[in-house]
Amino acid sequence: MVPVTINSPPKPESSEEELSDSQVSNSSEDDDSMEDEPSDSENNNGVVTETEANGIKDEFWARYPSLKMFLSKEMVKEFISEEYILEKGKLIGDNKAKELNEKCEVLFIKEIEHLINKYRFMADVLELLFL
CA 83 to centroid of chain Cα atoms? 14
2 domain residue, yes or no: no
108 domain residue, yes or no: yes
107 domain residue, yes or no: yes
Q: Which domain holds residue 125?
A: 49-130
Q: What is the Cα–Cα distance from 61 to 3, expressed in whole angstroms?
A: 38
- Per-residue pLDDT, 63: 95
Q: What is the Cα–Cα distance from 67 to 72, expressed in whole angstroms?
A: 8
Domain count, the chain: 1
- Per-residue pLDDT, 53: 53
78 domain residue, yes or no: yes
One pLDDT digit (tens) per residue for the chain, 131 residues: 445 445 544 444 444 444 444 444 444 444 444 445 444 444 445 444 444 555 566 899 999 999 999 998 888 877 788 999 999 999 999 999 999 999 999 999 999 999 999 999 999 999 999 98
- Per-residue pLDDT, 56: 61
15 domain residue, yes or no: no
39 domain residue, yes or no: no
